[in-house]
Structure 1
């Protein structure tokens, strides 16, 4: 294996990580650079037999990993964070190559946050609770590990969203098998390779491959829990498949997040936050602003200022340090986002920025597009675009805009912006979402629970509540 601790460039080869070993495959699949649309690497395509071997290794490793103390497991996770830090630059560059996000403003921060997340989670504990104690007995509540956790991870934040699952699963005594998205497998394979040098064999395995591996994981009797991040439609398939073995599930799925800018908002000051809340990562995040509601008293001025700020940004290859907006990650999503542009044009909605794709340009570039006041029934308002298209929608009445924001099958996140914090909080409390920000956006933390309502998810990630979901509650009654 080629090692690159002394350089920021790693170009393979890539292996599956199974039972502490780097495993080659007979088959491979292409990985595309979304900034060029060209193949730049080959990823190993794991077979069902290799996934079976990874699950068996994880089941075997669970017997010894689960009985270690928290402190012992923390030592391993701290060593893993140290190893990832040595490879930080190469991981960030690889992330930009396969995902497209700008290196300096998105990829490097993603890798840095993931490493920090491991260290912080490793320091957390779930203590034994004394539920009851009297002259006759003591009742203790323990939280025991589940077993093998299967992680199915997405292509928009492939490093962060995977390691967000790895850290709490492992510190609570579980083992894990990860299946990364076939669109962005390389960074996950690479941090899986790095893990084999510091973690006991079988504790963390990575098996890349096609979509056929997902159902094998979700139906497998030796996987106790699935932690999934992805689309709502794929999530529904996961739920159906997992039902046969009554798996535990944590599901973070799609969203159609609304941002409500209150009538009293200092709207000029918050345009950068709202812009990046919508367009950061080229609009490819589940909690991105998908619908931007602005009071009609200043909507025209707001739209003009928003467009002016957008014009200052540079779209291009994320390896260029001047670039602030990268491409859409894959051809499938590119075509989907283009269908929104087609619908906008077909219905004659007012486009004040963007709207036209440069067909001569290589790669999957969708220009940042601002649509001024499309109707509530429009495709761009009702559906999740997951791309750099921002509908700015007028409203007059706060009660009405809350009802419009809640009129969605999704309920992941949202935000409210206003000078009167108390009034903004009152509106935030009426939104039917798992997370809502007031006068900020996309603040996350290891002790901040994150999850969705409605069809945006099941369960919670992060926080004490999220860590508990990697355990079984076990009541122990002890007679005195």
Structure 2
């Protein structure tokens, strides 16, 4: 009699996940109302202008990209109210510019202490409003605080021989880094002697920015925070004669309109715009280093201005590239940023959660489908079954990592930044093709060239149209020790970083030329 085979063990069931206690949106909102009741009332936030929290604006409904939870929407002002807010900011500016530097520094330092005290709440708001994983949300808050402290410690030397502008600085920034880009810039601008205006991004971040602005306003920082559509508020926030400088971070279409306006008016400006950042591989053999860096390049789902969505690879190295790249991209962890197996567990260490909205997710899915239909070859597609989700949660804003070979030239994925976890690979046979493919977007913020030969790097790197080019390593924004800018259509106006950020928002000696990407390198007022 044949032996009875042992039963096949049942596959292990995936653990059931739950929302970490105390991290629900309702918990975050309750804490905001307790910390800053002047700014958070009932189920809405307020605008901050004329040194007070105003119950104005038409509130639009909003949902979290994390799981569709209803959250606070931006209270959108109309154009007339925005102009009133700008005029009030000018009055604040005229008073603030005469406040002695030691007092300005003390107020900024007190603001940083308050931000530090509420660090975890600010990070939790970033999770819910823009879908950042917990560790990246905390890092965003920490970079803002640490960065501004660096300026506060060295501001005396940076302001020697310099004075505030004649009007407030207007800040219009994208939604992806509310703290380390927008709040950081606002506090440094105020430290330098300017009143500041910030527009909350339409796509997310209003509660986080409102809490940060409330903490700053309590310390006497002259900050204005308003919400509204860019088209309706641009006359006030960009063209108004009261504005002393425009600082913009966003896409090329909107940035081009802002650039035209500030050029016509001769207004000081800092305009950071998107570009297709590329990673070239030519006569390269250090594949272990590439494997180690690939997961880091997917931080926050590549929703960063310095993300690398394009690899340009020497054809004869393609098989070795795949052997290094694919195992790394298969390790990526995606899911709900606050889903845990045990209530006592810390939030998970994910590479990314959702993209900014279900609409953006659909856009990316459609672009990938269209590219494949027209000939692109899928090299990797992440599986939803590998993601960490709560039972039954809304996952419409999630995009799993995708890598495509040779997207068609008709596809947006060929020439534009996807701003999501979609990589494209282009194969080339000559150095000329390598450079052409790396320069596909008429200028970029960063690029990298991996090659074993230093002489080859030194010869090719100057021909890559990116502001910063790394030799086998990724480049980043860099706010302290080095300047930051862009080439071509990726930037317009003054460069920043280190003391250049302060110089960009202050007046120096007569005839001073600010380093930057200006039309005909014009003198800035």
When normalised by structure 1's length, the TM-score is 0.87
For the structure 1 residues 107 and 426, does the alpha-carbon distance in structure 2 shift closer, same or farther, using more than 3 Å as the test? farther
Distance 1:72 1:410 in 2: 41
For the structure 1 residues 241 and 445, does the alpha-carbon distance in structure 2 shift closer, same or farther, using more than 3 Å as the test? closer
Shift of 1:32: 1.8
Shift of 1:244: 5.0
Q: Decide which of 449, 453, 464 is 1:416's aligned counterpart.
A: 449
Give the corresponding residue for 1:451: 485
- Alignment of 1:121 with 2:154, yes or no, is no
- Structure with the bigger percentage of strand: 1
Task: Give yes or no for contact 1:145–1:470 (8 Å, CA) kept in 2.
Answer: yes
Distance 2:162 2:440 in 1: 41
Distance 1:150 1:89 in 2: 28
Instruction: Give the stretch that moved more between structures: 335-344 or 153-162.
Output: 335-344
Give the corresponding residue for 1:347: 374
Task: Give yes or no for contact 2:359–2:397 (8 Å, CA) kept in 1.
Answer: no
Distance 2:108 2:285 in 1: 44
Partner of 2:61, secondary structure, is strand
For the structure 1 residues 453 and 26, does the alpha-carbon distance in structure 2 shift closer, same or farther, using more than 3 Å as the test? closer
Task: Give yes or no for contact 1:34–1:364 (8 Å, CA) kept in 2.
Answer: yes
Give the corresponding residue for 1:137: none
Task: Give yes or no for contact 1:268–1:302 (8 Å, CA) kept in 2.
Answer: no
Shift of 1:226: 0.8
Q: Decide which of 334, 348, 353 is 1:326's aligned counterpart.
A: 353
Distance 1:11 1:440 in 2: 48
- Alignment of 1:336 with 2:373, yes or no, is no
Task: Give yes or no for contact 2:448–2:475 (8 Å, CA) kept in 1.
Answer: no
Which aligned pairs between 1:249-288 and structure 2 lie closer than 5 A?
Answer: 249-277=269-297, 279-288=298-307
Distance 1:421 1:369 in 2: 32
- Alignment of 1:154 with 2:174, yes or no, is yes
Partner of 1:151, secondary structure, is strand
When normalised by structure 2's length, the TM-score is 0.80
Shift of 1:44: 2.3
Distance 2:410 2:282 in 1: 22
- Alignment of 1:313 with 2:353, yes or no, is no
Give the corresponding residue for 1:242: 262
Distance 2:381 2:335 in 1: 15
Which aligned pairs between 1:10-409 and structure 2 lie closer than 5 A?
Answer: 13-25=44-56, 27-104=58-135, 106-125=136-155, 127=157, 142-184=162-204, 185-200=206-221, 203-211=222-230, 212-243=232-263, 245-277=265-297, 279-320=298-339, 321-322=347-348, 323-354=350-381, 362-374=395-407, 378-409=411-442
Distance 1:32 1:463 in 2: 37
CA shift digits 1:186-230 (9 cap, x unpaired): 211221111111124xx1111122332233311211111110000
Larger Rg: 2
Partner of 2:466, secondary structure, is coil
Shift of 1:129: 10
Which stretches in structure 1 are left out of the alignment for 5+ residues? 131-140
Q: Decide which of 472, 490, 495 is 1:439's aligned counterpart.
A: 472
Structure 1 vs Structure 2 CA RMSD = 2.9
For the structure 1 residues 248 and 93, does the alpha-carbon distance in structure 2 shift closer, same or farther, using more than 3 Å as the test? same
Q: Decide which of 486, 506, 509 is 1:471's aligned counterpart.
A: 506
Task: Give yes or no for contact 2:358–2:397 (8 Å, CA) kept in 1.
Answer: yes
Distance 1:150 1:262 in 2: 43
Distance 1:361 1:303 in 2: 33
Distance 1:386 1:290 in 2: 8
Distance 1:129 1:194 in 2: 25
Distance 2:200 2:483 in 1: 23
